[in-house]
Amino acid sequence: MELYDKQIASQVASQLLKIEAIRLQPEKPFTWASGWKSPIYCDNRLSLSYPKVRNFIKESLTEAIKANFPKVEAIAGVATAGIPQGALIADEMELPFLYVRSKPKGHGMENMIEGKVTPGQKVVVVEDLVSTGGSSLKAVQDLKHAGFEVLGMVAIFTYGFDIAAQNFEEAGVKLICLSDYAAMLPQALEKNYIDDFALTSLVEWRENPAAWRGVE
């Protein structure tokens, strides 16, 4: 799990903060589906509504793919947020596009993968956000079971959890991200989205998210 470029990481973080795709509330934490209390909520789908941000992300992900996976033959998005990003990249690169559902469609062909399945085709997976990596790696396994050769994955943002790095390493999947939590914090402080007190709490959350309960 690595960043594509440190300068781009800062730029992407700054843009996501500006459009409120990343929201920081250490004093009023969000509750994740896992039950974790979190000072951050990241919804990169908002970037689609801002053409300049959308295009910068598309171009950066495209360059990351070209640099790290030059033999790519198709792009696969992870449902649902990875679908529009993947489609934009596939169009930019003039490559076939497909996407992976979280579960088979409940009617018709009951597909897990939508698009032309070509066994042996070299594919790069596109994700918008990586937390623990569970759903992202499930999509990778589904593609492999269908006969694709998965070269790796690109994502817009990751929280940088150790468990995610471990999961991707154990699965043998290379993950390239545009930005991450560590790159975002200095941007948030510099642009006054948070103060020094909030920064301390945000760092504590990153070190032990399961035990973090918010600002006392």
Tokens of 169: 């390493």
215 labeled part of a ligand binding site: no
37 labeled part of a ligand binding site: no
131 labeled part of a ligand binding site: yes
What residues have CB less than 8 Å from 1, skipping those under 6 apart? 130, 158, 160, 164, 165, 168, 169, 175, 177
213 labeled part of a ligand binding site: no
Residues 90 and 72: beta-carbon distance below 8 Å = no
201 labeled part of a ligand binding site: no
Question: Phi and psi dihedrals of 140, rounded to 5?
Answer: -60, -45
128 labeled part of a ligand binding site: yes
d(CA 28, CA 39): 7
145 labeled part of a ligand binding site: no
133 labeled part of a ligand binding site: yes
101 labeled part of a ligand binding site: yes
132 labeled part of a ligand binding site: yes
| CA 164 from centre of chain | 12
Which residues does the annotation place in the binding site?
101, 105, 107, 127-135
Which residues does the annotation place in the binding site for orotate?
131
Which residues does the annotation place in the binding site for 5-phospho-alpha-D-ribose 1-diphosphate?
101, 105, 107, 127-135
